[in-house]
């Protein structure tokens, strides 16, 4: 079932969301100072391509740098990304078939707001 959901997700909205995250990652890596944000953006792009069967967990070794980085991220990019996921998720939840994809969009909101100090792992 995960494979079917992931393929449909990829075709409907996952590819376009991942492209957006990759473009943001490239811009962040070009600006050298924001390379950690670029790396986080590439991780989110990978997660946006194939979200079913994976989850986000907090890293225990994340420190004050992650908190400061997340504050900067929220101000410049995070809230825009979260708003996009909220709108897309709400629109997908209008139909019964779109509900799992809307839920997947809502699942992407926490990592789009606070990407630093988190890790994406496979669910058992």
| Torsion-angle region of 56 (φ positive above 0: left; ψ -120 to 50: alpha; else: beta) | beta
pLDDT at position 41, please? 92
Res 66 pLDDT > 90? no
Three-state secondary-structure class, residue 16: helix
Q: What is the pLDDT of residues 38-62, one digit of tens each?
A: 999 999 999 999 999 998 888 888 7
Res 30 pLDDT > 90? yes
Give the rounded percent of residues in the chain with a pLDDT score beyond 90: 34
Res 106 pLDDT > 90? yes
Three-state secondary-structure class, residue 24: helix
User: How far is residue 21's CA from residue 30's CA, in Å, rounded to a whole number?
Assistant: 14
């Amino acid at each position: 079932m995960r494979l079917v959901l992931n393929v449909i997700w990829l075709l409907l909205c996952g590819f376009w969301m991942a492209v957006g995250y990759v473009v943001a990652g490239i811009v962040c890596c070009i600006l050298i100072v924001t390379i950690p944000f670029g790396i986080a953006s590439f991780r989110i792009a990978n997660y946006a391509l194939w979200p079913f069967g994976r989850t986000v967990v907090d890293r225990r070794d994340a420190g004050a740098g992650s908190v400061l980085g997340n504050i900067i991220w929220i101000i410049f990019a995070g809230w825009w990304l979260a708003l996009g996921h909220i709108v897309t998720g709400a629109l997908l939840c209008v139909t019964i078939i779109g509900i799992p994809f809307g839920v997947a969009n809502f699942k992407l909101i926490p990592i789009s707001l606070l990407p630093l100090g988190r890790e994406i792992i496979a669910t058992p």
